[in-house]
Amino acid sequence: MSLLEVKGISKRFGGLKAINDVSFAVKPGEVTFIVGPNGAGKTTLFNLITGVFHPDSGSIHFAGRDISHLTPNEAAQIGIGRTFQIVKPLRNLTVLENVMLGAFLRTSSRAKAEQEATKVLRFLEMEKIMHLPARGMGLPVLKRLEIARALATQPKLILLDEVVAGLPTSEAIKLAMLLKRLPEWGISTIGGIEHVMQVVMRVADRVIVLDHGTLIAEGEPKDVVHRPEVIEAYLGSKYKEIAL
């Protein structure tokens, strides 16, 4: 039984068809990555799943329920967490308080929220800086903070948008290894990464390739990466021959 089922969704903005008849499914406990060149529509896809936009056609089902017309906060409430490509920490709060914001979704008690947030921060190896202000933190910390905040909402599915973009490779791999452990917590993961293929290869169970809003390939990482259509999408048709 799939946790997330996307069926034939399309979305256009004015003259641009950003998502074109995309369908795929994510099983519980799976780590799925959506890859594709810039402008392929990955963030739009996330926005559609989390209710920032609504699909023009097609449907999205989460745990059997139709979520095509949800609002973002409803999506979070039913168990879909997300991070943003451009990190948005709450700068005037501490790291802990930032994460507590996520924890507050499941409890109204400040003490419990603090507990839950601390647990998450421990998992992400950030306890030492818990009480420091979020303002002035470097990008690696802020990226983890984004994840921590989403994790604190106890999601069943977490959407990580370009979660290692901008990080030095060593940090990216460290983070990816952490993310690989998320299914242990009962969280399926989807991540949208564009170019750090090393991370994709290590962590993903499945890969979905988008190009100009269309799904052009799907399958296990090591298979997909060699397909001609995928190479063409990234490098252009001249390089199609590399595939074989």
Partner 1 sequence: MKNWQALVAAVFLFAALFVPLLVPTDYILQILFRVFLFAALGLAWNLVGGYAGQLSLGHAAYFGVGAYGLALFSKLGISPWISVFFGIVLAVICAAMIGTISFRLRGPYFALCTIAFAEVLRLVAKNLPNVTGGDVGAQVPALFTHSATRSFYWAGVLLTAFAFALTAWIERSRFGYYLMAIREDQDTALSVGVNAARCKLWALLISAAITGFGGALYASMFLFIVPDQVLAMDISTEIAIVAMLGGAGTLLGPLLGSVILESSAEIFKTVFKEAHLLIYGVLIVVVVLFMPEGVVGTLTSKLGRFKKAPLAPFAAPAPVAAQEETSRAALNE
Q: Site size for partner 1, by CB under 8 A?
A: 36
Could you say whether residue 166 binds partner 1 (CB under 8 A)? no
Q: Does 18 bind partner 1 (CB under 8 A)?
A: yes
82 binds partner 1 (CB under 8 A): yes
The Cα–Cα gap between 201 and 205 comes to 9
Contacts with 111 (C-beta within 8 Å, 6 or more apart), sequence order: none
Question: What phi, psi does 80 have (nearest 5°)?
Answer: -110, 115
Q: Would you say 190 and 34 are in contact if contact means Cβ atoms under 8 Å apart?
A: yes
Q: Please select the residue that binds partner 1; options are 21, 97, 171, 232, rule is CB under 8 A.
A: 97
23, 57, 92, 169: which one binds partner 1 (CB under 8 A): 92
* Of 66 and 74, CB closest to partner 1: 74
Determine, following the binding rule CB under 8 A, whether residue 57 of this chain makes contact with partner 1.
no
The strand pairing partners of 17, in sequence order, are 12
Q: Is 84 in the site for partner 1 (CB under 8 A)?
A: yes
Kindly indicate which of the ranges 28-36, 101-109, 168-176, 202-210 contains the residues binding partner 1, using the contact rule CB under 8 A. 101-109
- Is residue 133 involved in binding partner 1 (CB under 8 A)? yes
Asked if residues 93 and 142 have their Cβ atoms less than 8 Å apart, the reply is no
Handedness of CA 81, 182, 44, 48 (dihedral sign): negative
CA-nearest of 125, 118, 165, 158 to 143 is: 165
Report the site for partner 1 in 34-53 (rule: CB under 8 A). Answer: 43-44, 47, 50, 52-53
Q: What is d(CA 52, CA 80) in angstroms, rounded to the nearest whole number?
A: 12
Give least dist CB 92 to partner 1, A. 5
Nearest to 25 by CA among 44, 43, 56, 1: 1
108 touches partner 1 (CB under 8 A) = yes
Q: Please report, as ranges, the residues that interact with partner 1 according to CB under 8 A.
A: 13, 18, 43-44, 47, 50, 52-53, 71-73, 76-77, 81-82, 84, 88, 90-94, 97, 100-102, 104-105, 108, 110, 113, 133, 149-150, 152-153
